[in-house]
Every structure is written in C-alpha cells, then in structure tokens.
Amino acid sequence: MATYWVGDLQGCNASLGYLLDQLGFSASRDRLVVLGDLINRGPDNAGVLDRLIALSDSATCLLGNHDLFVLAAYHGVKKLKRSDTARLLFDLPQAPAWMDWLAHRDMARFESGCLLVHAGVLPGWDLTQTLQCAREVETALRGPLRPELLHQMFGHEPLGWRDDLGQPERWRVTVNALTRLRFCSAQGEMEFATKEGPGSAPPGFMPWFDVPGRRTADTPVVFGHWSTVGGLCRPNLACLDTGCLWGRSLSALRVPANWDGAKPPDLSGWEWISVPADPADVIPLK
C-alpha cells in the first residue's frame, strides 16, 4: 500500500491519468490525497471529478480557492469568468451530485505527522486551531448553513485573525488563509494582491511559511496553490503545485511505506514524483 499527496489538478485529467499510470496506482491497494483546486481553468473538469469520485475511499481531496469559487457560482453567489471552464459542468445532469460531493471535501487534514492544506496557515495558528477552524467551515459547508457560508466567505476583510471575530468573519479568515494565502506580515495580516514568487513580497510582508515564530513551524506542512513556489521542499515544508496547468508538471509526494507519523518527518528525504503536463491540459500563458 502506498499513499501519494498530489498538487493542484485544475481540470487536468489527462495529466492526472498519466501520473497515476506512472505511479502504478491501484485503487484496491493505494491511496491518493489531492491538495485542492481539483477543477477549473483546465479542459476536463468532468473527467477529474468522475475519476476522483470513482476512486471512492482511495481518494481524499481538499478544497482549494477554485473549488469554492465554482461551488459559489453554481449556487448563484458568484459569476464565472471566461477563463473559468467549470461553467461547462453546470448544465450536465451530474452537476448536483458533483457539487454536493465537492461540498463534502476537507479544508485541512493532519496525517502521517503532517498538516495538509491547499494554500497556507496563519502564523498565529497552531495545529489544533488550524484544524478547529477548518472543521467550522466544513460543518457549515456540509449542512444547512451552506448558502450563508457561500454568501459570506468572499472578501479580504478581516485581514487577520482575532479570537473575538463573529461567525461570518471567522469563516472568511479561515477560507482566505487555507485556500488563498501566499504573503502575510509578521503580525499575521494577509496580503492578496501579489501572486508572484517569494522574492516579490511587498514591503512588510513575507511568505507565510517564513514568518518568524510561526506556531506550526514544528509541524511539517504540505500545500499547493502557489505554482511559482512549486517544487519547494524543505525538511518541514513542501509545495506540490508545480504548474501543470501552465505546461510544467504534475507532482506527487510519496509517504514512505509503514510511516506511522510517530515523529515529525523529514520531507526532503521523501520520494518526489513528477510527470510533464499533458499538452492537452495546458492553457496559454498570459
């Protein structure tokens, strides 16, 4: 049995199929964990969803910012843009089942001694608080509060966490941190305008994972979302978004066999597997 953690798919079903073939993946034996942004922008969102759903318990998926945006658009909260290929899903008969399946995915996970998120973690959050905030959003998304959450979760404010935040603000900060975060200040204020690599941090900001005193510094974190950082692998940090959609590669990190998570792992020693993006999946660079 092998477990593979995989970066952003964004509708790149051909590349996903190629990666699974290269891994020799067997649903009866192995397990796949996808770190969010399952769909949108790529050419075969339906294929990705059908493949992941067919894998059943052999596939665990996190939600990314694109997945949440598509859910909101399906429920009439947001309008898709021309580049949002997920619009092709909405008129298909499987759409309600696909969207409900998406709404039941995780916001964060802790397994094999590592914290798995789509984008990042606020520096003031420890592991327990990160998972607690994730569970609050998941519970709302899976139940009768789904419409309210989808209406409330968009926007930049508040830019940071406070323990006295009301529910809508707690949801918004959590969603922004777990699915959109790249840069923040030493005080945990998030910045959303800059999307380039770590060296492009605006004055007063830095990559979230480099904030001094980050409370999850002793917990290895594996994330996606940031393709210009993709391939970064430190003992306690790995970014698996290697820009498949942009023509680079789709990557997976293999959890060592029989790893029980009893001690923090050294991610830099784990096996990294990448396949080149299938040309059918690539969109032109702007």
- Residue 144 has a pLDDT of 97
- The reported pLDDT for the residue numbered 284 is 65
CB atoms within 10 A of CB 234: 13
22 and 49 Cβ atoms separated by less than 8 Å: no
Other beta carbons within 10 angstroms of residue 28's beta carbon come to: 6
pTM confidence score: 0.96
pLDDT at 285: 54
Helices and strands counted in the chain (H then E): 7, 13
CA distance 85 to 53: 19
Q: Tens digits of per-residue pLDDT, 48-81? A: 999 999 999 999 999 999 999 999 999 999 999 9
The CA distance from 151 to 76, in Å, is: 9
User: Is residue 111 classed as helix, strand or coil in its secondary structure?
Assistant: strand
Mean pLDDT of 142-161: 96
What pLDDT is attached to residue 257?
84
Full set of structural domains in the chain with CATH: 3-281 (3.60.21.10)
- The pLDDT tens digits for 242-270 are 999 999 999 999 999 877 777 778 999 99
Helix (H) or strand (E) holding 150: helix 146-152
pLDDT level of residue 35 (50, 70, 90 thresholds): very high
Q: Please, which residues have CB within 8 angstroms of residue 99's CB and are 6 or more apart in sequence?
A: 70, 71, 74, 75
Q: Which residues contact 228 (CB under 8 A, 6 or more apart)?
A: 195, 196, 197, 243
Residue 47's closest CA among 87, 16, 90, 81? 16
